[in-house]
Amino acid sequence: MGKKVIIFEDDMDLALIFSFLFEEERWDVKTFENCDCAVGICKEYSPDLILMDNWIPTIGGKEAIRQLKGDPQLKNIPVILVSANNNIKEVFANSGADAYLAKPFDLEDLLVLARQLIQIKVCQTDLLLQLSHHEIP
């Protein structure tokens, strides 16, 4: 079953590039030009991965991530922060995102990152499942 990714990116070129890349990998892709309804959108689609541009109308990527990570239902979905900022590390450090991608970027890097994050999420879910089934002796 294909993975679902939601891309919040106001630059249409980049949105197109991301879509192409993930669709080529047979992912289910949804793109949005602003992040104001990020929580609602993500609840509707339950994505496996979220790509969030830092500088996106109107509340900004940072605020959107804060909202996403503050939601118990969505907090475990990995989020990649995408930014052209030179200090992307600092922006990332305070964002709550799971990984970052500096513009411009290497597509292959992005794919590797995406797969790794999903892998981690799967592992986490499995672990939680195992724990919940594990009888305490």
Partner 1 sequence: MKYPNNTDLNQNDREVAAIIESAPFPIAVYHGKEMRIVKANQSVIEAWGKGPEVIGKTYREVLPELEKTDIYQKLDQVFSTGIAYHVRNSKVELVVEGRLREFYFNYSFTPLFDSEGKVYGVMNTAADVTDLNLQKQRAEFSEQNFREMILQAPVAMCLLKGPDFVVDLANDAMIEIWGKQKTNVMGVPVFKALPDAREQGLEQVMEAVYKNGIPYTASELPVVLMRHGKQETVYQNFTYQPYRDQHGEIIGILATSVDISEQVVARKDREKAYEQIHLSKTAAQVGTFDMDLERGTMEWDPRCRELFGISHNQMVNYKKDFVQGLHPDDRGRITSIIDGLMESESSGGDYDVEYRTLGATDHKLRWVRAKGKVYYEKGRPVRFIGSVLDITAQKEHELSLSELAEKQARFVAVVNSSDDIIISKTLEGIITSWNPAAERAFGYSETEAIGRHISIIIPKQRLGEEDYILSQIRKGEKVDHFETVRKTREGKAVYLSLTISPIIDEQGKIIGASKIGRDIQAQKVAQQAAGQYTRRLEIMNMVMGSVSEELDLNKILQKVTDATTELTGAGFGAFFYNKIDQGGESYTLFTLSGASRESFEKFGMPRNTAVFQPTFSGQGVVRVDDITKDPRYGKNDCHYGMPKGHLPVVSYLAVPVTSRSGQVIGGLFFGHPEPGKFTSEHETLVISIAAQAAISLDNAKLLEEVLALNDKKDEFIGLASHELKTPLASINGYLQILSRIITEDRPKMFLEKALIQVGRITKLVNDLLDVSKIEAGKLQLTIAKFNLISVVLEAIELIEHSESSHLISYTSDIQDCLIEGDSQRVEQVVINLLSNAIKYSPKAGRVEVTLFCDDQKVTVSVRDFGPGIAPEKLKSIFARFYRIDEASPNISGLGIGLYISHEIVSRHGGEIWAESKLGEGAVFYFSLPLSLSPG
User: Measured from the CB of residue 13, what is the shortest distance to partner 1 in angstroms?
Assistant: 4
Give CA separation, 121 vs 3, 67, 116, in Å.
12, 19, 9
The verdict on 87 binding partner 1 (CB under 8 A) reads: yes
Binding partner 1 (rule: CB under 8 A), the pick from 39, 59, 66, 105 is: 105
The verdict on 55 binding partner 1 (CB under 8 A) reads: yes
Q: CA geometry: angle at 81 spanning 24 and 61, to 5°?
A: 115
For residues 64 and 56, give the distance between their C-alpha atoms in angstroms, rounded to a whole number.
10
Residue number with CB closer to partner 1 (44 or 106): 106
| Segment lying near partner 1 (by CB under 8 A), choices 8-16, 31-39, 40-48, 126-134 | 8-16
Please report, in angstroms and rounded to a whole number, the separation of the first and last CA atoms in the chain: 36
The residues that touch partner 1, with contacts defined as CB under 8 A, are 11, 13-14, 17-18, 20-21, 24, 55, 84-87, 89-90, 93, 103-108
